[in-house]
Structure 1
């Protein structure tokens, strides 16, 4: 299942990196696997993933629930984080992505949650998605 997670993550990375409106808002190179140290402005981090077997009698499948987190650090506002989330959901909800070694059956937005990180006070917007992939 880890190969399905990696394939989906790579396709999401490619889609979001190629989105001109999102890049204009957050800047280039602002989508990360892990939170960068001392970052300023808006950036997006791939978050938690929960994967489950979604195989049928004839096909191997994987259901994933995953999150992307928009961080509003330093001078960035919650309003900007909400706008970034809107663009991310627009780019990914029901998207047709090409995955290496897997076929995407569906990708749907589940929920979004805006909060402040208690320790640092930074704004964070957590976007939850569900995806199902199959091995062709």
Structure 2
């Protein structure tokens, strides 16, 4: 399994195992591609960009990951609380990473904005994660 696929699975599984996050979103609404009509609020894995750490494949990878939160509350408070819970849960991802080791999580950046439809808030947590394959 590629490092990116393993990391995507670990993010979904790790966040779905976090009781504080699940309480905020009303259940296991964490998706790598949210289904159409998914009830709000929910968490969705956004862009994932992966680069090799060195010229040698198998030495490790660094991933730039975006995690999105969508909410239909009148203000951005719900999005902010969910983004905080996601950031707090990131260190637990290591326990869900299959075939790879989590080396480093860094540079979390949060952003929230109202979408053009005027009723949906989108939050985004961008983070950099370094992984390496298990020997």
TM-score (norm 1): 0.85
Q: What is the aligned residue count?
A: 132
**Hey, what does 1:29 align to over in structure 2?**
28
Is 55-64 or 120-129 further displaced after alignment? 55-64
CA distance in 2, matches of 1:49, 1:32: 14
Instruction: Check conservation: 1:41, 1:76, Cα contact below 8 A.
Output: no
**Hey, what does 2:43 align to over in structure 1?**
44
How many Å apart are 1:40 and its aligned residue? 3.2
Deviations 1:82-108 (A, max 9, x none): 10000000111x446132111111122
**Hey, what does 2:66 align to over in structure 1?**
67
Which of structure 1's runs of 4+ aligned residues deviate more than 6 A?
A: none
Gaps of 5+ in 2: none
Instruction: Check conservation: 1:40, 1:76, Cα contact below 8 A.
Output: no
- Note the 1:1-136 alignment, pairs <5 A: 3-55=2-54, 60-73=59-72, 75=73, 77-92=75-90, 94-95=91-92, 97-98=94-95, 99-118=97-116, 120-121=117-118, 122-136=120-134
TM-score (norm 2): 0.86
Deviations 1:12-62 (A, max 9, x none): 112111111111110222101113323332100000011111137796110
